[in-house]
Structures are given as C-alpha cells and as structure tokens.
Structure 1
Amino acid sequence: MPWWLVATVVGGVLVASGALPGGDARDLLERTGPVLLLLLALTVVAELCAAAGLFEAAAAATSRLARGRRWVLWLLVVALATASTAVLSLDTTAVLVTPVVVALARRTGSDPLRFALVVVALANTASLVLPVSNLTNLLADRALRATGADYLALMWAPALAAVVVTVLLLAVRDRGALRGRYDATPARPAPDAPLLAVAALVTTLMAVAFVVGVEPAVAAGVAALVLAVATVARRRPWPAPLPDLVPWRTLLVVAGLFVAVETLRVHGGADVAAAVAGDGHGFGDLLRLAAAAALTSNAVNNLPAYLALEPAAAGDPLRLAALLIGTGAGAVLTPWGSLATLLWWQRCRALLLHVPAGVIVRQGLLLAAPVVVVPVAALVLTTA
C-alpha cells in the first residue's frame, strides 16, 4: 500500500474520530500549513527552472570556476550548500541546489551521489546559522526574543561547529573521490534564452524576498506563478504533466505525519517527552535535551519534534538552543528526519539518481553524534 494512502487514511481517521480535537487540528494547520505550501511552491519552481536550463547553466559556470580541480569543485559545492541553507533555508537548498550539484557532478565525471550527499548533510547541519535557515529557528527566535536573548549571539558558535564538523567528516570519507582532475564537457545551449533569464531573475528575487523577511510560502508561490506564466508565454512544454508538477504524494505523507504526532502529543506524549528531556543547564543536561530532540526528530520529523519538546525548554535560552541543535543538526539519521531530506530524496528521484534509504542512514550514523555533541559543547563554552 502506498505511503501517501496510508498517511491520508490515518490522518483522516484521527481527525474525523475526534482523537485529535478540532481546536488542536486547527492550530496544527495554522502552524504547518505554510510549510506545506512552501514545499509545493518550491517544487514547482525547481521543475520550471530545470526546464528553462537554469541548473545546467549554473553547473557549467561552477565547473569552469574550479578549473578542473575536483577538490576545489567539492569545496565550491560546500560553500554553495552552506550559504544557500543559511540565507534561503534548508528546504530551498534541498530543492534548488540539489539539481545544480547533480548536474555539476555528471558534467565533470564526478560521483553524483557523493556530491548530492554533501548537499543534504549541509542542508540540515548548516540550518542553525540564521533564524531564516530553518522553520524551527523562527519558532525558537520568537521565544528567545521574549526572554531578551539574541539568536545570533547565542547560536553562532554551535552553528559554526556543526558546519565545520560536517565538512571535516565528509572530506575524510570522500577523500578518494576528490582526487584528480576533470575535463568539463561544453555547456549545452539553453532551450530558450529569454526564459532562462526570467528563471534566473525570479529565483534571485525569491532569494532576496526570503532574506528581507517576506513570508517564504508567499514568495515561493509568486515565483512559481511568474515562472508558469513565462513558460506559457514562451510556448515551452511543461517539464511534466501538470498533476505531477505538484508533489502531492509527499504533501500527504508529511501532513499525515504531523497529524499523527500531534495526536500523540495531545494524549500525553508531551509529558513523556518532557520527562525524557530532563532539566538543568549543565553540559550533561543540555546534551540530554539535544539528544532527545535528535532521536525524536529522526523518529517522527524535526518540526513536530520541536513542537513536542518546546515546553521542556521552559523558555530558557540555553535549553532552546540545545533543542535547536538536536532538531536542526541532529535530524540526519533517517530519510524523514527533516522535511529537507524528504525534499532532497524526491529531487534525486526526479533527477534519476537512485539513493537507497540505507545510504542516508549510513551517512547519518557518521554525522549524527558529532554534530550534536560538538555544537552543544561550543554552546556551553561560549555562554559560560
């Protein structure tokens, strides 16, 4: 039975039966509805940009910049994924950067799976940098402001530690694949140069809108609409049948997951989570909370994990920071640990890049503990 059908049936039964009360269901929709709309719009943007040749053009430019040196190419991918995640959010990185990197790897004769895995790793572990980098950051930023704490002053060291640890571990793992040089193949001409220019401009303006604080779902929705109109105006074919442009299966799975976790929270799950998370401000106490957040995120997804464990932070800045480390950097162990990983997985399938779930889990086993322990230590050292 397809996962989307299971999720739809389970979610519908939980709401219809009253297991999830109506008021809680409405609150859940208000919190997560914009996330699902963002997922929908970003996927449409990615498909239309790919059809316009934007990702192929970006890959060609990056391969020229590295001048045949594969390790430089890898570092450029690291910089691109980190900057995109920090400024545009982890979900944007998963949707927009993944096609660029896969095209880049294929153009240069590099291993596309190794390069794509760098993107999904940094989409998660670099998501602590700014409030806009992750939806959970935005939720925590409101709570931090209420206490008088500043997000950047609190999180700069854990964010830096998470990125550095990720890059070092992946560099050691992939050192064999980064040796040697490459000869880039000539860039293919864009199928429609004016449409390519529109796609580049729209994507840039969408990024600016994210940075200046426009609601991400609104900015991405407008971008998708403009690109759709431009595609019709230029009389270009759609990259896929219209129903397949929208990732409705992924939307249904994620929505069903949110409903199931919220139902558990309402019926005592929050109390259990708070008991597991403990209390206190010492290194061991904060690590316990971050570890509980990471484990919960990898079990059910990091957004519902944050919502379930936020009361355990009790509005305390240090505990909120530890919670973010666990739900942000620590959600790398399973394909459903974060929405960004699900989006990345869906993009890889669309790009005909097969990624078994076991590959994601093995990378998660390499990263999960270090990207939680080291950032928590950095948090304690810089706030002592």
Structure 2
Amino acid sequence: MFALLALAAVVVAAGILPWGDTLVLADRVVPVLGFVAAITIVTELAAEAGVFSALAGMLARWGRGRRTLLWIFVLALAVLSTVFLSLDTTAVLVTPVVVLLALHAGLPPLPFALATVWLANTASLLLPVSNLTNLLAEGRMDAGGPVGFATLVAAPAAVGILVPVVVLSLMFRKDLRGRYSAPSVERASDRTLLIVSAIVVAALLPLLVSGLEVWIPATAAAVALIVLFGIRRPGALSIGLVPWRPIGIAAGLFVLVEAAHARGLTAFITGLGGSGTDLLSLLQLSALGTVSANAINNLPAYLVLEPIGHSPVRLAALLIGVNLGPLVTPWASLATLLWHQKVTSLGVTVSWPKFMLAGLGVVLLTVPLATLALWLAAGR
C-alpha cells in the first residue's frame, strides 16, 4: 500500500497527472472513499454489538430444524447484506457468522461458505452502495440516483443472484436435505448496545437509496455508533476500524490509472470492448471486464476500462463483467481474499483448483445471461 501511495504522490508531484486533473479526480473519489470508511465503521461496530450474530440466531430459529429453509434464509441474508452494506461486509462479517451457525448446527460448512463469497460478488450489482465499482459508475451514468441505477441493472442483477443460487443448491442438494438441531445462541452481553446498533443500521438502509449522497447517511450512522460505543464500550473503538489498507490501495490506483489515461491509455483500449449497444458489443465488453478482473483485480479492471463504457448501458455491461465475473482467480476480488482468510481461520478447507473450476462454470453461465438480460431490458 505504501509503495503504491508513494508512486501516486510522485506521479502527481512530477506533473504526469496534471494538477487540474488531480483536483477533478479528488472531487470524484473522496466522497466515495469517505463512504467506504464510514460504512466499514458501521458494519464493524454493528458486528461488535452482536447484530449479525443475533440475525443468525433468528435464522436458526426460523428454520425450524429444516435444512432447506435455513439455506434459503442464509442466502437471503447474504444477498441483502451485499446489496445494502457492500460485498466486503458479506465476505468479512457475514461469512464467519453463517459458517459458525452451520458448524454449531452440525451442517457441512462449505455450502454456506461458498454461498457468501459467490453472492458477495454476484449480488453486488443492484445498488450503487453494493460495490465500489458501482459508486464510481453511477457518477458517470447520470442514471437518476440509486433508483435509476437499480432500474437499469435490475434484470442482470437478478440473473447474478439466481444463477449462483441455483448452481449452489444443485451442487450441495444432498447436504441440504433433512433436518438440523438448532444451536443455542448466546445472549448479547449488552442488550442496549445490540438494540440501538440494530436500530441505527435499520435506519441507515433506506437512507442509502433515498437519493442523498451516500457518504452523508453513512457518516451520520458511523458517528452515532462511535458515540454509542464511546459511552457503553469504549474499548472497542480504535483507529483500526478505518479500512486504511483498502482505502490506500484504491486511492493509489485511482491516481495511477487516471495518469495512464491522461497519457494515452484510453486511445490504446478503444476498440477492445466494442463500441455499440448491440448484444455482441455488450457481450464483448462484459467478457473483457471479466477477463481483466480475473487477471488484475476488479477495481483496477474497472478503472482501466471505464472510458470505453461511454453510455449507461455500456457501463452496466462493464459492471456485469467486473462484478459478476471475479469468481475464478483468488485475487480477482478483494472480497474473495478477505473471505478466504475468514474461512481458513474457522478450520474450513478450501481447494483453490476446485474453487476456480466451479467459479469458472458459474461465470460462463452468469455473465452472458446477465448481459443478455441487460440488452433485453434496455430494449435493444
């Protein structure tokens, strides 16, 4: 991270990225990174208060001992967490909760672990707050706020959720039959902290789609929880709540890729992903996004290819590639790397060759079908 930031500073200081362009870039990305910091603080403190564990306990009770019903509830939790609180929240905070739930209920943990990482990526298309790439694209689309954005991508977002769910349910159909013993759930040590934190998170969700700039309600929620924890559990507050490493990496990438575009990268990539909004051109762009994300990670892939997404529909096709496509290589998405750290710390073994093969199969189904859905919904 530090080397990346140092290189970015040299690029600006040397004038490789002109100062005027640097100010324009800062005006665009500072609110985005501010949202990332605020929503991370909110979700980390909510997890510390026991909100996600309480949700898992509710799901275990609602499942009434039926594995299929519990599976449906876990999938719904992963989707809603990704859509409203971002893919990293699902990968980092929801994963350990549902994996421990499966272990305590005597269920195989792998289906639940794969569900969280696949849906963390593929369910991250519907709202601007679902993925950092979406926040960046929304600013270029002028789609009419979160509702307009969701309207544009609703059809491919539905495909991105349904295809992995169907594949997972078929892959693990034997493990998901029968019954389970509902595990006992520990009561929260501070009931007031849990309830107030849950209220703050519940109040935040509709505000994220209200049309306000998302960093405003997220920051307000973060401040509210910081004050609450300062009163009731000050030991949980630390500078480490801010995701310095992801923010630093993203900031450095923004500067370096913008400098590359200013020095001719845009001209180089023009034509690689097609130029129109016909089905073939959209498939070409989403495929390029998928390959690039699995090669170099989805955020730099989006930043590099963004200039050739010169219309809302083309930007949506690019998002299909960089959001739904990073299921093959471990480094394609930061969420996948964070997820792997969590599941291995819980004793769940993941075979990368099998992970990559299964992910490739899902991508080969999901990305073309989602692109087709986008083309049909756009009336092309």
Question: TM exceeds 0.5?
Answer: yes
1:188 Cα offset (Å)? 0.9
> Which residue among 75, 82, 104 is the counterpart of 2:79?
82
Q: Which residue of 2 aligns with 1:189?
A: 187
Q: Which residue of 2 aligns with 1:380?
A: 375
1:10-49 to 2 correspondences below 5 Å: 10-49=7-46
1:354 Cα offset (Å)? 7.9
After superposing the two structures, state which structure 1 stretch, 201-210 or 88-97, moved more.
88-97
Q: Distance in 2 between matches of 1:80 and 1:222?
A: 24
- 1:229/1:342 CA distance change after superposition, 3 Å: farther
1:210 Cα offset (Å)? 0.9
- Counterpart code for 1:327: V
Per-residue Cα deviation, 1:271-328 (whole angstroms, up to 9, x for no partner):
222221122343322211111122233344444433443432332x543332232232
Q: Which residue of 1 aligns with 2:317?
A: 322
1:7 and 2:1 equivalent? no
- Counterpart code for 1:210: L
- 1:33/1:115 CA distance change after superposition, 3 Å: farther
Give the conservation status (yes or no) of the 8 Å contact 1:46–1:95.
no
1:92 Cα offset (Å)? 4.7
Q: Distance in 2 between matches of 1:87 and 1:47?
A: 15
> Which residue among 116, 119, 124 is the counterpart of 2:121?
124
> Which residue among 218, 223, 226 is the counterpart of 1:220?
218
> Which residue among 232, 253, 256 is the counterpart of 1:257?
253
- Counterpart code for 2:196: V
What fraction of aligned residue pairs are identical, expressed as a percent?
46
Give the conservation status (yes or no) of the 8 Å contact 1:56–1:103.
no
1:357 Cα offset (Å)? 6.9
1:267 and 2:263 equivalent? yes
Q: Which residue of 2 aligns with 1:368?
A: 363
Q: Distance in 2 between matches of 1:187 and 1:328?
A: 34
- Counterpart code for 1:277: G
Give the conservation status (yes or no) of the 8 Å contact 1:129–1:155.
yes
Q: Distance in 2 between matches of 1:314 and 1:212?
A: 26
Per-residue Cα deviation, 1:324-344 (whole angstroms, up to 9, x for no partner):
322322233345544654665
* TM-score, normalising length: structure 2: 0.84
Q: Which residue of 1 aligns with 2:61?
A: 64
Per-residue Cα deviation, 1:25-53 (whole angstroms, up to 9, x for no partner):
33333322233222322332233222222
Q: How many residues align?
A: 377
Q: Distance in 2 between matches of 1:22 and 1:354?
A: 48
1:311 and 2:338 equivalent? no
Q: Distance in 2 between matches of 1:25 and 1:366?
A: 41
1:153 Cα offset (Å)? 5.3
Q: Distance in 2 between matches of 1:9 and 1:144?
A: 31
Give the conservation status (yes or no) of the 8 Å contact 1:336–1:342.
yes
Gaps of 5+ in 1: none
> Which residue among 187, 197, 200 is the counterpart of 1:199?
197
- 1:221/1:180 CA distance change after superposition, 3 Å: same
SS in 1 for 2:57: helix
After superposing the two structures, state which structure 1 stretch, 288-297 or 109-118, moved more.
109-118
Q: Which residue of 2 aligns with 1:289?
A: 285
Q: Distance in 2 between matches of 1:70 and 1:26?
A: 53
Q: Give me the CA root mean square deviation.
A: 3.3
1:65 Cα offset (Å)? 0.7
1:131 Cα offset (Å)? 4.9
Q: Which residue of 1 aligns with 2:239?
A: 243
